[in-house]
Amino acid sequence: MTDTTTSTFKPGKGAGATVGVAVLGMGTVGTEVLRLLEERKDEFAARIGGNLEVRGIAVSDLSKPRPGVSKDLLTDDALSLVKREDIDLVVEVIGGIDYPRQVVLAALRAGKAVVTANKALIAAHSEELSEAAEAQGVDLFFEAAVAAAIPVVGPLRRSLAGDKVDTVIGVVNGTTNFILDAMYSRGASYEEMLAEATALGYAEADPSADVDGYDAASKAAILASLAFHTRVTADDVHTEGIRTITVEDIEAAKAANSTIKLLAICERLVDEQGQESVSARVYPALVPTSHPLASVNESYNAVFVEAESAGRLMFYGNGAGGAPTASAVLGDVVAVSRNIVHGGRGPGESTYARLPIADFGDVLTRYHVDMHVDDKVGVLAEVSNVFSEQGVSIRAVRQEGLEEGARLVVITHHAKEADLEATVERFKQLESVKAVRSVIRMEG
C-alpha cells in the first residue's frame, strides 16, 4: 500500500509559461469555470506567474448549442483529450463514478495534474487515484468535492497538518438542510418540502442521493480520510436519510430545545485500552439550538471541527451551486497551476495512521426515544427496567396524554448503538408499549 504523505518534486515549466487546460464537462459548474477562466485570466496569470489556456472541452453532445465557445475546442472524446501533449491540467466536472474514473486515471497516468469536484469518485477510488498521481508526481486536488465554496479540504490537508483532529461534524447537503429547516420553521411535512425543493431546483427529479444520505456519506468519507490520516470509503460510512422524519419529530425536537439536521459525523474513538479507531456516519440527529450547527439554515452548509490544539473551528457558507463550486475548483486550479509553472507538488493522500473502522454498534451517542404506551400505573417502571437491563441510562422523561394511551419520550445518556437497538427490540415484546414511534440520535 502506497502512502503519499511525501511529495515528489517535479521541475516546473518556468516563470511565464502557459498551462494547457482541459475541461471535462460543460454543465452548470463547467460553464461557470470556463466563464471565470476567461473573465479573470489576467488576475489568474498574476497569481500563478504564468498563463492559463483552455485547449480542449469534453462534452457528451457536440450538437448542443454552446454560445461563446469555439467549436474547435469541443470534443466528445475525453480520453484522447486528456492524453494530448499540450494538456498540463485536467479539470473534471462531469459527475458520476465509472466513466470519470476511467478518464481521470488516464489523465494521471499520462502525467497530467487533475482538479475534480467529484465527491463520489474520490470517496470510492481515492486509493487508486492517489497512487496514480504519486507515480507520476502530479497533483490531485478536490476542494470542491466537499461543501463547494467552503474551504475545508485545504485546512484539513494543510492548515491542521500539525494538529490532532478529534471530531469533524458537518451539515454537508444543502437539499436536506433546506427541507429540514423549512419543516422546522413552517411546520410543513417532509413530502411538502421535498416537492418545494424539487420545484426550486434544490432537489433532483430522483432525490435519493440527497434524502437517503448517500451524497453526505461520500463527503463524510473524504473528511474522515483527511482528518484521521486513514483511508475511509463511502462503504465504511453508516448511512441513514431523512425520509422518515415527521412533523411530530420536529415538534419533539423543539420541545427538547433542539432542531433536526442531517449530519455527517467523523470521529476519532478511543477504547478503554487506549486503542484508536475511526467512526464515520450520516444520519438525522437532534442538535441543541445552542450549537453553532443548529443555526445553519436553508441550503447552506457548515463543517465543525474539534482539534487538540486549535480547539473548535467552524467553516460556513454556500455548499452547492455553479458559482460556489466553481470558486473551489478555480482555487485548486490556481494552486496546481502554480506548481506546474514553478515546480513541486501539493500534499498527497496521507494514510499513515491506518486506523481501523469502528463497528457502528460500538458507537456512543445519546438518544431521543418516542413511544406510544398504555396510560396506566406501572408502565413507566416497566419501560425504565428495560432501559436498565440493556445498560442504557435515562437522562430525562416526558409524558403526555393521547386520545388512546400516552406518549412517552425518553432521553438517554450516552449509550452504545447496539445496546439501544436491543432496547428497542425488547420494547416490541411488551404489551404496554404500543409502538416505538421514532428513535433519533442526539449530537452536539
What positions carry a catalytic annotation?
A: 219
- Alpha-carbon span 34 to 69, nearest angstrom: 9
Determine the 3-state secondary structure of 196 from DSSP.
helix
Nearest Cα residue to 7 out of 109, 137, 116, 101: 137
How far apart (Å, rounded) are the C-alpha atoms in residues 54 and 48? 15
Burial-class residue 63 by CB neighbours within 10 Å (0-12, 13-18, 19+): exposed
With 0-12 CB in 10 A as exposed, 13-18 as middle and 19+ as buried, what is 428? Answer: exposed
Helix axes 41-48, 322-342, angle to 10 degrees: 40
Position 9, amino acid? F
Strands 258-270 and 165-171 come out as: antiparallel
Strands, E, within 153-299: which ranges? 165-171, 238-239, 258-270, 276-288
Residue 246, SS3?
coil
Sequence-distant (6+) residues with CB within 8 A of 107 are 22, 82, 83, 87, 90, 92, 114
Strand partners, 283: 263
202: left (phi over 0), alpha (psi -120 to 50) or beta: alpha
Whether residue 92 contacts residue 68, with contact meaning beta carbons closer than 8 Å, is answered with no
Length of the chain: 444
How many C-beta neighbours within 10 Å does residue 61 have? 9
Strand 276-288 to strand 433-442: parallel, antiparallel, or no bridges (unpaired)? parallel
